[in-house]
Amino acid sequence: MNYEIKNSYFHKIIRDQKFSEFSEVRYSCFLILDYLIVAGRDLEVSFSFDELRENIDQKISDEDFITSVFYLTREDIKILDQGFSAWKAVEDRYVEVRKEKVLRMINSKQFSHPYTGVELTEDQFFEEVIPFFAVTKYFLDHKNDSI
């Protein structure tokens, strides 16, 4: 795909990474980055997979898109943080769940609703516990930096 690389700090980081020549992961990272520079206004803004996907070229395969999103969460890239939320009836809203708690359940394969304690199957768990992504403070501090 033809893409004009912008001259920002984060575009350079992605440009300098090694990617498979047979995938569109780099291109997808650039498109997500372009979207986040505009939409990622502050630490309170979060994005679902679906919301990010809606704003990325649909010619990008789902596999390359998902790989790109997780690539941007890497510690050496510092663009996105992944979090999880679940419905908390007492507050009548989705509330963030500690990442460690979610990862512990995934690793142990013992699933329950994070707030009610009701035992869940793996499929039910992934319907109840919703992943989201938010820009990092580092990204906000440097998103307008040029190289």
Is residue 90 assigned to a domain? yes
CB 130 within 8 A of CB 48: yes
Nearest by Cα to 71 from 125, 4, 137, 24: 24
One domain for residues 67 and 15: yes
pTM of the predicted model, to two decimals? Answer: 0.84
Q: How many domains does the chain have?
A: 2
What is the average pLDDT value for the chain, to the nearest integer? Answer: 92
For 59-99, write each residue's pLDDT tens digit. 999 999 999 999 999 999 999 999 999 999 999 999 999 99
Is the same domain home to 103 and 56? no
Q: 33 and 47, same structural domain?
A: yes
Phi-psi bin for 146: left (phi > 0), alpha (psi -120 to 50), beta?
A: beta
